Copies of this chain bind each other. A is one copy, B any other.
Amino acid sequence: MAILAVGSVAYDTVETAVERRERQLGGSASYFALAAAPLAPVRVVGAVGHDFRPADLELMASRGADLGGVVRLPGPTFHWSGRYHADLIERDTLATELGVFADFAPEIPSAWRDTPYLFLGNIHPALQAGVLAQLRRPRLVVTDTMNFWIQGARPDLERVLAGTDVLLVNDGEARLLSGRRGLADAAAVIRALGPARVVVKKGEHGALYFGPEGVLAVPALLLPQVVDPTGAGDAFAGGFLGSLAAAGADAASGDAPFRRAMLDGTVTASFCPEGFSVEGLLRADGPARARRLESLLAMMRP
Interface contact B260-A215, CB-CB below 8 Å: no
Q: Which of A255-272 contact B (CB under 8 A)?
A: 259-260, 262-263
Complex formed: what's the CA distance from A182 to B222 in Å?
7
Tell me the residues in window 178-223 of chain A with beta carbons closer than 8 Å to chain B beta carbons: 181-185, 202, 205-206, 208, 214-219, 222-223
Q: Which residues of B contact A300 (CB under 8 A)?
A: 216-217, 300, 302
- With CB as the reference atom, state the residue of chain B lying closest to A301: B216
Cross-chain contact B216 with A181 (CB below 8 angstroms) = no
**Interchain CB contact under 8 A, A215 and B206:** no
Determine whether the beta carbon of A214 is less than 8 Å from that of B302: no
Tell whether, in the assembled complex, residue B298 and residue A215 are in contact, meaning their CB atoms are under 8 Å apart.
Answer: yes
Q: Are B299 and A185 in contact, CB atoms less than 8 angstroms apart?
A: no
Which residue on chain B has the smallest CB distance to residue A259? B302
Across the interface, do A302 and B298 meet the contact criterion of CB distance under 8 Å? no
Supposing A181-B226, A184-B224 touch, asked if A302 and B260 sit within 8 A by C-beta, the answer is yes
Partner of A183, one of B202, B216, B222, B259: B222
Q: On chain A, which size bracket covers the interface?
A: 20 to 34
**A contact patch SS:** mixed
- Given the complex of chains A and B, what is the CA–CA distance between A217 and B263 in angstroms? 14
What residues on B are CB-neighbors of A263 within 8 Å?
302
CB distance from A133 to the nearest CB of B (A): 35
With CB as the reference atom, state the residue of chain B lying closest to A222.
Answer: B184
Closest chain B residue to A300, Cβ basis: B300
Cross-chain contact of A219 among B88, B206, B223, B297 (Cβ < 8 A): B206
Residues of B near A182 (CB, < 8 A) are 222-226
Interfacial residues, chain A to chain B (CB-CB below 8 A): 87-88, 181-185, 202, 205-206, 208, 214-219, 222-226, 259-260, 262-263, 297-302
Can you name 13 extra interface pairs (CB under 8 A) apart from A87-B181, A297-B302?
A181-B226, A182-B224, A185-B224, A208-B219, A208-B222, A214-B298, A215-B298, A217-B219, A217-B300, A259-B302, A260-B302, A263-B302, A300-B302
Give 11 CB contacts A-B under 8 Å. Answer: A87-B181, A181-B226, A182-B222, A182-B224, A182-B226, A214-B298, A214-B299, A215-B299, A259-B302, A260-B302, A297-B302
